[in-house]
């Protein structure tokens, strides 16, 4: 199988990260919340907070490597249980879970790891789960021109399980289907059956 020229996926930063300013602000936030940073173990906490959020908001750049679909493979390609870690844009608390990302190939097939990389790419920013699901599906559709795309994400929102309503054990399922996977009932059913999500 010959590799097509890789298309570089630009880092889509949500803005410049100023670690120094973030550390200072984190220190002020802790003090405003009544948490002293005087002790040895908390002295570095504002800096750690700044670096932790910077890490969560910085996706790793990657190349979108595709190959010609030489065998004319026309069934579903599905990567299941891709880990998802993101941060909800309402509380800036983590939501974590798994994504199932699949497509029905057209003229080209995608390097399999890229299905996980595109999830990370859109997860590394303040998000809502619905938008993340749709962004992954739309991006695959635009870049690969497949016959269909399906994305399902199941995630626990810690803003909903650890605080607020404290709905411990709950998780949220979102899905976006495009093309044949949306229009054709049999393809749709097969997709959900293979993801293991009851729909």
Ligand X SMILES: Nc1nc2c(ncn2[C@@H]2O[C@H](COP(=O)(O)OP(=O)(O)OP(=O)(O)O)[C@@H](O)[C@H]2O)c(=O)[nH]1
Residue set of the binding site for Zn(2+): 88, 91, 159
Query: 90 an active-site residue?
Result: yes
130 belongs to the binding site for ligand X (CB under 6 A): yes
**Of residues 116 and 128, the one with the C-beta less far from ligand X:** 128
Instruction: Respond yes or no: is residue 154 known to be catalytic.
Output: no
**Residue 168 binding ligand X, by CB under 6 A:** no
Copy the structure tokens of residue 65: 């490597």
The rounded distance, in Å, linking the Cα atoms of 144 and 129 is: 23
- Cβ neighbors of 14 (< 8 A, separation 6 or more) are 57, 125, 126
Q: Say whether residue 114 binds ligand X (CB under 6 A).
A: no
Instruction: Give min distance, CB of 165 to ligand X, in A.
Output: 5
Chain positions 90 to 109 lying near Zn ion, rule: CB under 5 A, are 90-91
CA–CA dist 55, 26 (Å, integer) = 15
Q: Which residue is nearest to ligand X (CB)?
A: 164
**Is residue 128 close enough to count as binding ligand X by CB under 6 A?**
yes
Active site residue 91: yes
Least distance from C-beta 71 to Zn ion, angstroms? 44
Q: Is 88 in the site for ligand X (CB under 6 A)?
A: yes
Q: Which is nearer to ligand X, 4 or 93 (CB)?
A: 93
For residues 54 and 89, give the distance between their C-alpha atoms in angstroms, rounded to a whole number: 14
Cβ atoms of residues 137 and 150 within 8 Å: yes
Of 157, 175, 178, 192, which lies in the binding site for ligand X, with binding defined by CB under 6 A? 157
Q: Phi and psi (nearest 5°) for 149?
A: -140, 140
| Cα–Cα dist 7/39, whole Å | 49
Q: Is 129 a catalytic residue?
A: yes
| Helices and strands per DSSP (H, E), number in the chain | 8, 9
For β-strands 94-104 and 66-68, DSSP reports them as unpaired
Catalytic residues: 88-91, 129, 157, 159
Chain residues that interact with ligand X, rule: CB under 6 A: 88, 90, 128-130, 157, 159-160, 164-165
């Amino acid at each position: 199988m010959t590799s097509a020229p890789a298309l570089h996926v630009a880092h889509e930063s949500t803005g410049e990260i100023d670690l120094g300013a973030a550390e200072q602000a984190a220190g002020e936030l802790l003090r405003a919340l009544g948490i002293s940073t005087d002790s040895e173990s908390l002295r570095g906490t504002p800096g750690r907070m700044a670096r932790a959020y910077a890490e969560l908001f910085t996706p790793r750049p990657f190349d979108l490597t595709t190959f010609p679909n030489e065998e004319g493979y026309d069934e579903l390609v599905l990567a299941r249980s891709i880990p998802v870690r993101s941060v909800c844009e309402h509380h800036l608390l983590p939501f974590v879970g798994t994504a199932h990302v699949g497509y029905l190939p057209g003229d080209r097939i995608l390097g399999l790891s890229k299905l996980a990389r595109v999830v990370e790419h859109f997860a590394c920013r303040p998000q809502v789960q619905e938008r993340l699901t749709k962004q992954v599906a739309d991006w695959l559709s635009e870049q690969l021109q497949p016959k269909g795309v399906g994305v399902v994400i199941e995630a626990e929102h810690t803003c909903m399980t650890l605080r607020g309503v404290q709905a411990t054990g709950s998780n949220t399922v979102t899905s976006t289907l495009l093309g044949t996977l949306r229009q054709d009932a049999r393809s749709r059913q097969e997709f959900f059956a293979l993801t293991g999500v009851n729909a």
